[in-house]
A = this chain, B = another copy of it.
Amino acid sequence: MPIRTAEASPDPDANLLLSRQLCFALHSTTLALGRVYARVLAPLGLTYTQYLALMVLWETGEISVKRLGERLLLDSGTLTPLLKRMEAAGLVARQRDPDDERRVLVTLTQAGAALREQARDIPVQVARICATSGLDLEALKTDLEALRGALGEPGVAPVSTGQ
């Protein structure tokens, strides 16, 4: 049963052309979007990942490092230093959960909560730039989420194809 996809071709060498790689389109587009966010977030003193973490905190108030990682699909090796920097910047507080001393609860400070006002129009700013592509961005988001599901979560192999 032949495989027909974006990355399969009768010519075996053609599969290794950079221009044929979905992975490169995805990778380079993410880097390009990261640069756009870096510009937009610079006035707020935030990095892109810090902004993602703040979005979760604005939504939930208090959250453990573990659950934050589940939301952002990141592990403690990434989050611990990130949160320490945000704590040093006065945006969040970190404290052990009295009910379970293994957990660390992250909460917003006044300054962290206040940043929400300044961030309110960032999605629109970025959406305006993305909109110049003329794409259906909602559909693109849905497709990316479907692909992400096929690729599997952190630490989990996506599919056992048997071979």
For A21, A29, A52, A140, the residue with the greatest tally of chain B CB atoms inside 10 Å of its CB is A29
With known contacts A126-B23, A151-B129, A116–B16 Cβ distance under 8 A: yes
Chain A interface residue bracket vs B: 35 or more
For A27, A119, A138, A154, the residue with the greatest tally of chain B CB atoms inside 10 Å of its CB is A27
With known contacts A16-B119, A119-B16, A30–B36 Cβ distance under 8 A: no
Q: How far is the CA of A51 from the CA of B140 in the complex (A)?
A: 26
Are A27 and B3 in touch, CB under 8 angstroms?
Answer: no
Which of A4-12, A79-87, A93-101, A102-110 lies at the interface? A4-12
A128 neighbours in B (Cβ, 8 Å): 3, 5, 161
Are B17 and A55 in touch, CB under 8 angstroms?
Answer: yes
Are A33 and B24 in touch, CB under 8 angstroms?
Answer: no
With known contacts A16-B55, A29-B151, A141-B25, A3–B133 Cβ distance under 8 A: no
A148 neighbours in B (Cβ, 8 Å): 25, 28-29, 32
* Nearest-neighbor residue (CB-CB) of A117 within chain B: B12
**Which one of B5, B35, B116, B145 contacts A25 once the chains associate, using CB atoms below 8 Å?**
B145
